């Protein structure tokens, strides 16, 4: 066969010269258009009906008439009765636009692509004004994507807790669990932190201790030293939300403040203390982890003797007006009277106010640093939202990697603050209805995408968008 063609071509005088595809635009364009049409006719039924829509189309009607009059606008051409811009098939205003987006986003392929993937594929085949806007609106309103995709967001500005007015008036508490069981059967630490001085008490306890045991420990180890607090901030541990615990503090006039469920950042102070204590214990016990109970008192002393970054002073200095004596202090070192120390002791109230102002300034610095990576998002009561289910929210043994990532749409029934909301969950959810704003996303109904899929309606801020 090749020999026959070679004999035939030898009758002609010609030179074979390679021309790159970038320069061979005419042949390349014709080839791409024919390939696209052949592929589309095989995948999409009824594609021929698009030809009848060009003449009176709001976006392509005038261009279609110019092309039929042999006045081809730059970049436009007609091939087999279809209008092309470069190598992209022009789609007139009709339900075809929504249909094509749906097919590419997750029609017959068995999977749902992301927004960028869908946009890339549709812009590589088709063209119409504001194609990007229509595609993004459709993908954002996809109920499958809203339910099964998505993770944590950077929504919600930093909201530090109010600064206390004095020492041991506002406390925070938490537990450190999962420690090796000791000779006295202790396997947990009850951590209590004064939010003003940052002084902490580390109390031995058991994981199985109930609310009565924890209340007894708190009265014996904290209240006997510092009195009854005005408020207590904690997570939603079963002990802290029990009826007994609530009733005890209600009778004493202490306000209980709870963090958002499965959002430990709400009580960040105690979480930082827990992390610091964990590092100290690891360094002290080293190869003998079961001895942590014996050195816990030393760890507490060391922590309260260290200067705190927020206050600039050690907790001992704020509560007791002076730093504790160490081995160096009780050595035979010459002493001298210090007027500064005497003045510091006498002007204790002025020192407390100075510490409080320093805490306010520290909170402002932390907020400015944290908010650079966050964006504000505020919902109102009655808004329909999708809520993210973290792994911790699933009942034990029910979590699956293929389970729904979000629940919804559900209405917001209460606004705790700008960063925490309570929603109306289905009865079978088995989780707290309180969610942090980072786990809440706005629900976008599919009906809006159907209405707005027509691109003939445009706004000034979308002009020129492709």
Q: What is the average per-residue pLDDT within 337-358?
A: 63
Q: Within 13 Å and on the Cβ side, how many CA atoms surround 128?
A: 28
Sheet holding 170-176, edge to edge: 200-205, 188-194, 170-176, 231-234, 255-258
pLDDT at 22: 57
Q: What is the average per-residue pLDDT within 96-109?
A: 79
Write the pLDDT tens digit of every residue in 402-434.
Answer: 788 888 899 999 998 888 899 999 888 888 888
pLDDT at 26: 45
Residue with tokens 């009854």: 228
SS3 72: coil
- Residue 368's pLDDT band, with cuts at 50, 70 and 90, is confident
Res. 354: pLDDT tops 50: yes
- Residues 6 or more apart from 324 whose CB is under 8 A from it? 301, 304, 305, 316
Which one has a higher pLDDT value, 16 or 315?
A: 315
Which one has a higher pLDDT value, 320 or 345?
A: 320
Distance CA 380, CA 412 (A): 7
- Residue 268's pLDDT band, with cuts at 50, 70 and 90, is low
SS3 82: strand
Res. 159: pLDDT tops 80: no
Q: Where are the domains of the chain?
A: 47-146, 170-320, 378-394+402-453
Q: How many CB atoms lie within 10 A of CB 415?
A: 15
Which of 131, 146, 139, 55 lies closest to 96, judged by CA?
A: 131
Which one has a higher pLDDT value, 455 or 53?
A: 53
- Residue 110's pLDDT band, with cuts at 50, 70 and 90, is very low
Could you please state the CATH topology (level 3) that the domain comprising 47-146 is classified under: Endonuclease III; domain 1 (1.10.340)
Percent of the chain residues past pLDDT 90, beyond the cut: 19
CATH of 378-394+402-453, one of 1.10.3470, 2.30.30, 2.40.30, 2.60.40: 2.30.30
Residue with tokens 């002025």: 350
Which one has a higher pLDDT value, 25 or 50?
A: 50
Res. 292: pLDDT tops 80: yes
Can you give the pTM of this predicted structure?
A: 0.59
Distance CA 201, CA 353 (A): 23
Q: 269, 263 in Cβ contact below 8 A?
A: no
Res. 266: pLDDT tops 80: no
Domain 170-320 architecture = 2-Layer Sandwich (3.30)
Q: What is the average per-residue pLDDT within 385-392?
A: 86
pLDDT at 355: 76
Which of 234, 92, 94 lies closest to 161, judged by CA?
A: 234
pLDDT at 236: 83
**One-letter-per-residue 3-state SS of 326-388:** CCCCCCCCCCCCCHHHHHHHHCHHHHHHHHHHHHHHHHHHHHHHHHCCCECCCCCCCCEEEEE
Least confident among 38-42, 382-386, 394-398 = 38-42
Distance CA 177, CA 41 (A): 63
Q: How many CB atoms lie within 10 A of CB 93?
A: 20
């Amino acid at each position: 066969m090749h020999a026959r063609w070679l004999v035939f071509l030898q009758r002609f005088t010609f030179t074979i010269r390679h021309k790159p595809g970038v320069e061979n635009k005419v042949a390349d364009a014709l080839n791409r258009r024919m390939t696209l049409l052949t592929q589309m006719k095989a995948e999409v039924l009824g594609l021929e009906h698009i030809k009848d829509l060009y003449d009176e189309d709001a976006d392509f009607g005038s261009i279609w008439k110019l092309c039929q009059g042999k006045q081809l606008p730059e970049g436009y051409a007609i091939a087999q009765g279809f209008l092309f811009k470069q190598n992209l098939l022009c789609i007139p205003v009709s339900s075809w636009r929504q249909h094509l987006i749906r097919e590419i986003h997750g029609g017959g392929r068995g999977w749902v692509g992301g927004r960028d993937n869908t946009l890339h594929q549709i812009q590589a085949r088709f063209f119409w004004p504001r194609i990007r806007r229509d595609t993004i609106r459709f993908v954002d309103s996809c109920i499958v994507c809203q339910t099964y995709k998505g993770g944590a967001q950077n929504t919600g500005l930093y909201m530090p807790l109010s600064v206390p007015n004095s020492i041991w008036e506002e406390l925070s508490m938490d537990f450190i669990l999962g420690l090796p069981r000791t000779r006295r059967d202790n396997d947990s630490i009850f951590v209590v932190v004064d939010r003003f001085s940052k002084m902490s008490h580390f109390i031995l306890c058991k994981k199985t201790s109930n609310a009565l045991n924890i209340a007894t420990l708190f009265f014996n180890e904290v209240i006997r030293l510092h009195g009854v607090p005005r408020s207590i901030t904690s997570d939603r541990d079963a002990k802290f939300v029990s009826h007994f615990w609530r009733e005890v503090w209600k009778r004493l006039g202490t306000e209980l403040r709870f963090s958002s469920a499965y959002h430990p950042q709400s009580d960040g102070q105690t979480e930082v203390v827990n992390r610091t204590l964990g590092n100290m214990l690891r360094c002290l016990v080293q190869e003998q982890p079961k001895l942590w109970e014996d050195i816990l008192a030393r760890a507490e002393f060391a922590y309260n003797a260290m200067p705190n970054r927020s206050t600039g002073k050690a907790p001992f200095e704020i509560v007791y007006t002076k730093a504790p004596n160490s081995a160096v202090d009780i050595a035979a070192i010459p002493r001298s009277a210090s007027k500064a120390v005497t003045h510091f002791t006498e002007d204790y109230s002025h020192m407390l106010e100075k510490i409080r102002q320093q805490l306010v300034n520290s909170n402002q610095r932390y907020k400015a640093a944290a908010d650079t990576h966050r964006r504000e998002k505020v919902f109102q009561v009655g808004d329909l939202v999708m809520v993210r289910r973290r792994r911790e929210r699933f009942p034990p043994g029910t979590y699956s990697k293929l389970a729904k990532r979000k629940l919804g749409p559900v209405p917001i029934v209460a606004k705790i603050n700008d960063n925490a909301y309570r929603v109306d969950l289905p009865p079978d959810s088995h989780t707290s209805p309180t969610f942090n704003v980072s786990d809440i996303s706005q629900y976008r109904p599919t009906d809006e995408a159907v209405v707005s899929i027509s691109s003939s309606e445009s706004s000034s801020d979308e002009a020129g968008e492709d």
